Amino acid sequence: MTAPVTSNPEPVTVVIAGEPVAKARPRVTRRSVTYTPAHTRKYEAHAQLAAQLAMGDRSPIEVPVRLELVVELPIPDSWSGRRRALAITGDLLPTSRPDVDNYIKAGLDSLNEIVVRDDSQIVEITARKRFSIAPKLVMTVFPLGAACSNRGAPNRTPSGGPKLQHEVTP
C-alpha cells in the first residue's frame, strides 16, 4: 500500500515571537457568564496571525501530523550572571508554573483550521520548556505518511464537525 499524497509534504514552522502565554482557564462571572481572559485571547490572536504568515497561500494540512513545540521563556532579570549562564546553556530548566501542557493548548488553538484542518490530526507531540534570551514559542508541524482514520466518514463537514441540518453543500 502506498502512502497518501499530501498537498503539504513539507514541515511547517510557526514562530510566535515574544513571551509565551499559557492557555488560561475560562473564568465565570457572578452571573454565570463564561469567558476567556483577555491576555489569553490577545495571545491566541497573535498566534493565529503567526500561523497564517507561516502557511502563506497554502491550504491546511489534511493528513495526520507530528508536532514539536519548544517554549522559550525569558530569563528573570534578578538572576545572577552565573545563574543566567546556566539557564542559557540548558543546565538550568524552568520547572515553575505554568505547566507545559497549558502552552501546548495555546499553541494547538492557533494551528487549528490554519496549519492543520483540525487539531485531532495531531497524533504525536514533543514539547519542552527552556530559557532563552529571545523568548518565543516555536511549533514545527511534520506531515506523516499516513491516512486519517475518519477520512471519508459520512456526515462530516470540512472542519471535521458533525454536519448540521441547515448547512448547504455545494
For 74-113, the pLDDT digits (tens) are: 999 999 999 999 999 999 999 999 999 999 999 999 999 9
Query: What per-residue confidence (pLDDT) applies to 145?
Result: 82
Domain range for residue 126? 12-28+35-143
Q: How far apart are CA 40 and CA 35, in angstroms?
A: 10
Measuring CA to CA, which residue among 152, 143, 138, 150 is closest to residue 124?
143
Total number of domains constituting the chain: 1
Residue 92 lies in a domain: yes
| Prediction pTM value | 0.79
Taking each helix axis as running N to C, give the angle between helix 100-111 and helix 38-55, from 0 to 180 degrees, rounded to the nearest 10.
Answer: 50
Residue 61 in domain? yes
Q: Which residues of the chain have pLDDT under 70?
A: 1-8, 151-170
pLDDT at 7: 52
Residues forming beta bridges with residue 83, ordered by sequence position: none
4 assigned to some structural domain:
no
pLDDT of residue 35: 84
Q: For residue 120, what is the domain's CATH number? A: 3.30.1330.70
- Cα–Cα distance measured from residue 126 to residue 1, given in angstroms and rounded to the nearest whole number: 28
Residue 121: helix, strand or coil by DSSP? helix
Quick one: which of 58, 57, 54 has its CA closest to 138?
54
Task: Examine residue 152 and state whether it is found in any structural domain, yes or no.
Answer: no
Rg (CA), the chain: 19
CA-wise closest residue to 50 among 72, 74, 73, 20:
20
pLDDT at 26: 85
